[in-house]
Every structure is written in structure tokens, then in C-alpha cells.
Amino acid sequence: MTLSRKTLLAALIAATTATVAPHASAGTLTIESWRIDDKALWEETLLPAFTKANPGITVKFTPSAPPEYNSALNARLTAGTAGDLITCRPFDVSLDLYTKGRLTKLNSQPGLENFPDSAKVAWQTDDGKDTYCMPMASVIHGFFYNKKVFADLGLKPPTTEAEFFAVLDKVKAGGKITPLALGTADQWETNQIVFTSLGANYWKGEDGRKALIAGKKKFTDADVTAVWETMAKWAPYLSKGYQAQTYGDSQNLFGAGKAAIYPAGSWDISYFQQNGLKDFGAFPPPVRKAGDGCYISDHTDIGMGINAASKNKADAEKFLTWLASKAFADLYTNKVTGFFSLSKHAITVQDPVAQEMVGWRNKCKSTIRLNAQIMSRGQPSMENELWTVSSQVMNGKMTPKDAGARIQAGFAKWHKPAAQ
């Protein structure tokens, strides 16, 4: 484009020109994130706390619509218009950003020592040598239950599967309340909240997960397909027409007190509290047999890294150091209820339900979501496949055996250890 053409165009559309060129200057930082849910918290509580501790640095929290975050961020990173601090999704998505040179290496970042290895692994290269995001928080998965419904029917939170189904039967017999608030329309809940949470008790958490990656275990093994068998048994306890029930519908159903049990991630604690349901409790995924050791899905969910093209890396590093501090850990865990700081700092969790959930770490062994590391890397992506087969099993369209076979076949297609 010649200069005269550019001027001509500019003149043509002069009326609309409102140039706001973002020139990064020392003292300002922009955060990219998908957590629109937390925008108010960041602006009113977290960022003021940072600015107080680090005067002279202004930080802006600019979240994007969650479904578009990955794609919009990629586009902006490629063109160089992304913010200084990037909220990192765990494992492969951020690894991909790092491999493409979009995130800086954080190996010598002060503050990293405050995190255990199990937290850092979500934001490290496969060989563990390089870290590219500062861990922030994890989410824990389990079940919420309506205390009033339970009290009315004389029920206690179940610990074994037999007890779990007994509770469901009792609620169903009562007639008015839906036993289980879950739908398959959005598909992701069946994997991220149900399969990987319930299943941890079946494949024994980290042991099973690592064995699957190493090829020593297969998805066709009895203990893995048993998870789908159990899930298939849930169908009669779901609402009529659950195939068209979305996540929002499930939230509304449980929040309105019309359901007894809700398969939950800890992030939903604040949602229900803000929307009127005060009296609910939580229990961990039931174990298969009485006396079994229990496992919980304690998933490293959110971290933060620095844009390799940022013009203000110095201040960004200060921000990351602050993220590793006890002050931030305390604020984040207690303000963004349901997200638990991954740091080693000892924090008192104030919210009772959150406290209950984080307390499970003491009696149960923690594991991350089964397919989060490595397994979703190839084609077909195991995450998408698990969404599809888990939903189909619950819809009664696929047998648990076929589900296991399909996942294993897809995994073996690109992952050598699994092909043996």
C-alpha cells in the first residue's frame, strides 16, 4: 500500500477513526484470561492488593469469552497484540504455546520454589527441565448434596457405591426431587466431572494414570471399563430428557433445590451461594467397596505465564513473584471460592464447603484428570473422544466395552507405548 493510498483511505473513513494504540509502557501490565467469572474479584480485590504492594504498576485484567479464549489468544499472539501476562491452561495447550516461542522460560523465576513438583508438572516440558507458567490454583471434584432433601429423607452422604445407589433409590422413590442433576447435552461434564473423578477410585489415581501412559494398562481393562458401566447405571436417576440438559440447566436444577445430588467441581461453590442455595454440603466420589482407599481428582487448572513478546517483562516478573506469595494464595483461595492455591503455603480456607473439599486431600490421594497429560496430544484428541464416548454411554448408545475399545484404539494410533 503506497503512502498516498493509505492517506486516502484514512481520509475516507476519518469520521470513525478513534486510534487507541496500546503502547506498553513501564508500569502497565495487561492480563489475558478466560475467567470472566472472576473479573469483578480481580478488579476490586486482587489487583488493588498487588498495586498496594507494588506501587507504580497498573494492571488490567481483560478476559475473553471462554470458548474463544484459546483461538483468540493464538490469533493475538501470532499478530503481537496479546497482553503481557497470559493465563495458562494446564498441559498441552500451554506446552504448545511455549514450544512455539510465545511464552518465556521461567526456570529462574523467584517464587517457583513455593510450589510442589506435582503442581509445576502441568506447566513444564515433558522432561521436566523447563517451566513456562507459574502455577496458580487447582480445582477439586466431587458431589454436592442438598442438605434439606437429605434431612427430609433421613439420608447420610454415601461413602461406598452401594450406599450411593441406595441414596439415589430413596430419592427417586420419594418422587418429587430429581436424584441426580446431570445432563449430557454439553458433554464435558461426563468426562471432566464424572469419568475422571469417579474413575480415580477405579484405576487408583496416579498409579493407574501413569500406567496407562506407559502402556502397562489399557482402557479395555476391566477396572477402566467398570467406570463406564457404573456411569451407565446412573441414567434412570437423571431427569427426563437429560440428553438435552445443559450444564446451565443442571446448575439451575440443583440451585433451585429440585435435585438431591449434583456432580460438582469446586468452582461451583460460589455460584450456588450467590444464587440462593445456602444449605448444601459436599462428599467425595464413593469408593467401590467399603474399606478401599479413596482418590480425588485434584486438578491443576490455572497458571500464569509471560508473553515472550511483552514489552514490560520486568514488571511481569514482579507480578509472577507476587502470585507465589502467601498473601496472594490466601486472597485467591478465599475470594475465588473453589479454586485452591497450589502453593505450599498453609492457608486457612474460610468457606465451609471449600474447607470440606480441600480437607479431602488429607484422607484421600490426589490425582489430576486422567487424560490431561500427554494423552490428548495426538489425533484423535482423547479429550474430545472421552467427551463423546462418556456421553454416549450415559445416553445408552454405546456399551462400556466399546467405549474402552474406542479410546484404546484411538490412543494406540499415535502413542507408541499404548500400541504394544
Partner 1 sequence: MSAPRLRSRWPVLVFLAPAVLIYTVFSAWPLLDTLRLGLYATDARGVVSFAGLDNFRTILVDAQWSAEFWNAMGNNLKFFGIHMLFQNTIALVLAALLSLNGLKGAGTYRTLIFMPTLLSVVIIGFTWQLILSPLWGVAERLLGVFGLAHLFAPWLGLEESALNTLSMMSVWQFVGIPMMLIYAALIAIPDEIIEAASAEGASAWRIFWEIRLPLILPTLGLVTILTFVANFNAFDLVYAVKGALAGPNYSTDLLGTLFYRTFFGYQSQVGSATMGAAVATVMFLVILCGVGAYTVLVQRRLQRHTF
Partner 2 sequence: MRKSSAHPAVSRGFVHLVLSGYTLLALAPLLLVVMNSFKARAAIFDDPLAWPTADTFALIGYTKVLAKSQVLGFFANSAIVTGVSLVLILLLGAMAAWALTEYRFPGDRLLSLFLGFGIMVPIRLGSVSILEIIVALDLVNTRTALVLVYVAQGLPLAVMILSEFIRQVPGELKDAARCDGVSEYRIFFQVILPLIRPAVATVAVFTMVPIWNDLWFPLILAPSEATQTITLGVQQFIGQYATDWNAVLAALSLAVLPVLVLHALFSRQLIRGITAGAVK
The footprint of partner 1 (CB under 8 A) covers 1, 5, 67, 70-71, 74, 91-93, 96, 99-101, 183-188, 239-246, 249, 252-253, 371-372, 376-377, 379-384, 387-388, 391-392, 395, 397, 410, 413
| Residue 6 in contact with partner 2, rule: CB under 8 A | yes
CB-based contacts of 267: which residues, under 8 Å, 6+ apart? 37, 139, 338, 339
Judged by CB under 8 A, the chain residues 280 through 309 that form the site for partner 2 are none
- How many CA atoms lie within 13 Å of 389's alpha carbon, on the beta-carbon side? 24
* Partner whose binding site includes residue 268, from partner 1, partner 2, none (CB under 5 to 8 Å by kind): partner 2
343 near 329, Cβ under 8 Å? yes
3-state secondary structure of 178: strand
Member of 2, 19, 362, 420 binding partner 2 (CB under 8 A) = 19
| Residue 66 in contact with partner 2, rule: CB under 8 A | yes
Residue 59 φ/ψ, nearest 5 degrees: -120, 135
339 near 266, Cβ under 8 Å? yes
Q: Which is nearer to partner 2, 51 or 78 (CB)?
A: 78
Alpha carbon of residue 188 to chain centroid: 11
Min dist CB 322 to partner 2, Å, is: 23
Judged by CB under 8 A, the chain residues 77 through 116 that form the site for partner 2 are 78-81
Q: Which is nearer to partner 1, 273 or 395 (CB)?
A: 395
| Residue 34 in contact with partner 2, rule: CB under 8 A | yes
What number of other Cβ atoms are within 10 A of residue 305's Cβ?
A: 26
Q: If you count them, how many residues does the chain have?
A: 420
3-state secondary structure of 296: strand
Min dist CB 176 to partner 1, Å, is: 14
What number of other Cβ atoms are within 10 A of residue 258's Cβ?
A: 15
* Partner whose binding site includes residue 392, from partner 2, partner 1, none (CB under 5 to 8 Å by kind): partner 1
| Residue 3 in contact with partner 2, rule: CB under 8 A | no
Q: Which is nearer to partner 2, 12 or 173 (CB)?
A: 12
Given its phi and psi angles, is residue 130 left (phi above 0), alpha (psi -120 to 50 degrees) or beta? beta
95: cell is 506446552
Beta strands in 107-218 (DSSP E): 134-146, 178-180
What residue type is assigned to position 396 of the chain? G
* Partner whose binding site includes residue 93, from partner 1, partner 2, none (CB under 5 to 8 Å by kind): partner 1
Member of 27, 39, 44, 236 binding partner 2 (CB under 8 A) = 39
Q: Which is nearer to partner 2, 39 or 363 (CB)?
A: 39
| Residue 263 in contact with partner 2, rule: CB under 8 A | no
Min dist CB 249 to partner 1, Å, is: 5
* Partner whose binding site includes residue 377, from partner 2, partner 1, none (CB under 5 to 8 Å by kind): partner 1
What is the dihedral angle through the alpha carbons of 124, 129, 134, 139, rounded to the nearest 10 degrees? 40
| Residue 362 in contact with partner 2, rule: CB under 8 A | no
* Partner whose binding site includes residue 3, from partner 2, partner 1, none (CB under 5 to 8 Å by kind): none
* Partner whose binding site includes residue 270, from partner 1, partner 2, none (CB under 5 to 8 Å by kind): partner 2
Give 44's DSSP letter: I
Q: Which is nearer to partner 2, 131 or 270 (CB)?
A: 270
3-state secondary structure of 265: strand
Measured CA to CA, the distance from residue 340 to residue 299 in angstroms comes to: 10
| Residue 8 in contact with partner 2, rule: CB under 8 A | no
Alpha-helix runs per DSSP H in 184-266: 188-189, 196-198, 205-214, 222-232, 247-255
Min dist CB 34 to partner 2, Å, is: 6
* Partner whose binding site includes residue 39, from partner 2, partner 1, none (CB under 5 to 8 Å by kind): partner 2
Distances in whole angstroms, Cα of residue 378 to Cα of each of 33, 92, 374: 25, 10, 8
Member of 68, 126, 169, 279 binding partner 2 (CB under 8 A) = 68
Alpha carbon of residue 344 to chain centroid: 20
Residues that bind partner 2 (CB under 8 A): 1, 6, 9-10, 13, 15-22, 34-37, 39, 62-66, 68, 72, 75-76, 78-81, 247-248, 251-252, 256, 265, 267-268, 270-271, 274-276
